[in-house]
Amino acid sequence: MRKIISLFLSAVICVAAFAGCGKASSAADESLKKVKEKGELVLGLDDSFPPMGYRNENNEIVGFDIDVANEVCTRMGVELKLQPISWDAKEQELNSGNIDCIWNGMSVNEERKKAMNLSEPYMKNRMVLVVLKDSGYASKDDLKGKSIGVQNGSSAQEALENSDFAKTVKEIISYDTNVKGFMDLEAKGIDALCVDEVVANNFISQQNKNYLVLDDSSFVDEEYAIGFRKNDQALRDEVQKILSEMKADGKLAEISTKWFGKDVTIVK
């Protein structure tokens, strides 16, 4: 009898423990509640990544992602706070609580899927090589034995370093920002810059720079997403829901057309 009672009590304790764990687990995610209580969403970004998020001539942070995030925050009932960060330390900034999300043309890859709770992709992208128009380079083959630049900590760096093309170049030089890479390209400190196509197109069209995207230079097709802390499911889902509403009511297309001339978003 004592053994039966002991087993019964053990079972009750286990059931209670599981129930308690379930309650703790469901109650643990207060990410959305915390953002609403403090009245702001802190967005971490590389503030030199046009046209997604960058500083204009008045030193104001503007861009496609900024406009979209502002609209999301308005609908959520909170203010948007922009927090420039080192892109190479974005995961640490997120996990330390300094920011609530990373939203700045961040490409999806397996490493980031493991490190963060990602939104659904909202835009397609690819990595390309940019050269000066008067450089004489017309293809990737022309860049064998040459110097290639790339932003440190970017998915462009990962795509470049893992490519067969990387084995043919003289050296790969990393920069803190894409802007510094473009400046060095213009100064002929490097022969080409590996960068997101949306960034390259912005520098060429909006800033009227003397750059050229090589036709055969695409390394990998990618998609942009927003990164949240692993356990911040409630906040992630609320932002995703609002993005879907913005896609349905045409606001997302309006913002996209402002920056790209057409709706290039892929939000469902």
CA-CA-CA-CA torsion sign (221, 268, 106, 47): positive
Helix (H, G, I), strand (E, B) or coil at 214: coil
Helix (H, G, I), strand (E, B) or coil at 53: strand
Helix (H, G, I), strand (E, B) or coil at 225: strand
Distance of CA 65 to the CA centre of its chain: 10
Q: Residue 73's CB: how many other CB atoms inside 10 A? A: 20
pLDDT beyond 50 at 195: yes
pLDDT beyond 50 at 16: no
pLDDT in tens, 47-67: 988 899 999 999 999 999 999
Q: Which amino acid is at 155?
A: S
pLDDT beyond 70 at 35: yes
User: CA angle at residue 191 from 190 to 192, to 5 degrees?
Assistant: 100
Residue 79 has a pLDDT of 98
Beta bridge partners of 45: 84
Query: Averaged over 201-219, what is the pLDDT?
Result: 82
**Domains recognised in the chain with CATH numbers:** 31-124+224-260 (3.40.190.10), 125-221 (3.40.190.10)
Helix (H, G, I), strand (E, B) or coil at 13: helix
Give the DSSP per-residue string, 139-156. Answer: SGGGGTT-EEEEETTSHH
Report the alpha-carbon distance of residue 41 to residue 21 in Å, rounded: 29
Block residue for tokens 């990962």: 158
Place 241 in a pLDDT band, splitting at 50, 70 and 90. Answer: very high
Report the predicted TM-score, pTM, of the whole model to 2 decimal places. Answer: 0.76
Over its C-alpha atoms, the chain yields an Rg (Å, rounded) of: 23
Query: Averaged over 16-23, what is the pLDDT?
Result: 42
| Nearest alpha-carbon partner for 147 in 129, 184, 173 | 173
Q: Which DSSP state fits 219?
A: -
Residue 11 has a pLDDT of 44
| Nearest alpha-carbon partner for 124 in 246, 25, 243, 221 | 221
Q: What are the distances in angstroms from CA 94 to CA 3, 21, 36, 98, 130?
A: 51, 26, 18, 6, 31
Residue 204 has a pLDDT of 81
How does the average pLDDT of the chain come out, rounded?
Answer: 89
Query: Averaged over 157-166, what is the pLDDT?
Result: 93
Distance of CA 207 to the CA centre of its chain: 23
Select the more confidently predicted residue: 256 or 7: 256
Place 198 in a pLDDT band, splitting at 50, 70 and 90. Answer: confident
For the chain, helix, strand, coil in percent to 5 are: 45, 25, 30
Place 12 in a pLDDT band, splitting at 50, 70 and 90. Answer: very low
Report the alpha-carbon distance of residue 183 to residue 107 in Å, rounded: 23
Residue 261 has a pLDDT of 80
Select the more confidently predicted residue: 230 or 210: 230
pLDDT beyond 80 at 194: yes
Is the separation of the CB atoms in 123 and 224 below 8 Å?
Answer: yes
| Nearest alpha-carbon partner for 193 in 143, 259, 124, 134 | 143
Residue 21 has a pLDDT of 44
Query: Averaged over 57-82, what is the pLDDT?
Result: 98
pLDDT beyond 80 at 206: no
Query: Averaged over 77-95, what is the pLDDT?
Result: 95
Select the more confidently predicted residue: 19 or 124: 124
**Percentage of residues in the chain with pLDDT exceeding 90?**
73
Select the more confidently predicted residue: 201 or 134: 134
Structure tokens at 45: 């970004």
Query: Out of 23-27, 168-172, 254-258, 260-264, which region has the weakest mean confidence (pLDDT)?
Result: 23-27
Q: Which amino acid is at 68?
A: V
Residue 210 has a pLDDT of 85
Residue 205 has a pLDDT of 74
